[in-house]
Amino acid sequence: MSDTSVPTIGYYKTRGLAQPIRLLLAYKGVKFIDKYYGNFGDKNLDDNPADWLADKTILGLEFPDLPYYIDGPLKLTQSTAIMRHLARKHGLMATDETGLGRQDLLEQQLLDIRMGIIVNNGVNHGYDTVIAQHIIAGRSPQLDRLSRFLGARQWFTGNCINYVDFLAYEVLDWLRLFSTGTVDEYQNLCQFMVRFESLPPIKAYMKSSEFISWPVFPPKAPWLQ
């Protein structure tokens, strides 16, 4: 793989599953191309816009899907596989058994929380009811557990930032956006988010024109209608 290649992330012009990948690359100072699919001005846009269908079979992806990550001959799909690859490449993996156990456990827990949000977003139009009753009702058990798991640590696996911190930040920010004040009940989670946003490369990226703050979800999400 060429060290001079500029990787490409293919996805919708939205946060979704691609945002932790973008954040990780921005943190490491890696220039990348965001290849956006679909026209978000069209509310009838489905999850397989014409431009993606045109590329889907010609990019050489083993399992064609969005998001994808292409860096020279390396071609990956599945957002978690992409995150793990980048974590190995850029030294954002835990290095001891305790940290690896926490890393692997948190990764899967965050994926469960994220999937719960996405699934309910995709099948329910009553946003207020879904969020209030199913995902983060009052003092969400999920947030209680995340708060206990983080404890007094700087980052979720210890004193060094890890790729799961990028996943955690994005999930927590979704919850913060869709239920104002809920995450604010957890001081250590709030401090974690401030700490993450204050990292100089992240802060610069979030202020740049490349950063996508909204929409969070792809085209057919009811909350975007």
Q: Which CATH number does the domain housing residue 49 bear?
A: 1.20.1050.130
Full residue range of the structural domain in which residue 21 is found: 8-91
Of 42, 73, 91, at which residue does a domain stop? 91
What is the model's pTM?
A: 0.90
**Is the pLDDT confidence value at 97 over 50?**
yes
What are the phi and psi torsion angles at 156 (to 5°)?
A: -65, -25
Tens digit of pLDDT for each residue in 19-55?
999 999 999 999 999 999 987 655 555 667 899 999 9
Is 152 inside a domain boundary?
A: yes
Q: Determine the pLDDT at residue 1.
A: 41
- Cis? peptide before 215, omega within 30° of 0: yes
How far apart (Å, rounded) are the C-alpha atoms in residues 136 and 70? 35
| Cα-based torsion angle of the residue sequence 109, 111, 113, 115 in order, rounded to the nearest 10 degrees | -150
Confirm if 106 and 157 have CB atoms less than 8 A apart: yes
pLDDT reading at 135 higher than 80: no
User: For the chain, how many structural domains are there in total?
Assistant: 2
Q: Name the band, by pLDDT with cuts 50, 70 and 90, for residue 5.
A: confident
Q: Which range has highest mean pLDDT (37-41, 55-59, 117-121)?
A: 55-59
SS in 3 state form for 150-164?
Answer: HCCCCECCECCCCHH
Cα 70 to Cα 10: distance, rounded to the nearest angstrom:
8
- Classify 12 as helix, strand or coil: strand
Q: What is the pLDDT of residue 48?
A: 79
Q: Which residues pair with 71 in a beta bridge?
A: 74
Phi first, then psi, for residue 221 (nearest 5°) are -60, 125
Residue 109 DSSP code: H
- Which position has the higher pLDDT, 120 or 164? 164
Under a CB-based contact definition with an 8 Å cutoff, are residues 24 and 223 in contact?
no
Instruction: Please check the confidence at residue 139 and state whether its pLDDT lies above 80.
Output: no
182 assigned to some structural domain = yes
- Is there a single domain that holds both residue 86 and residue 103? no
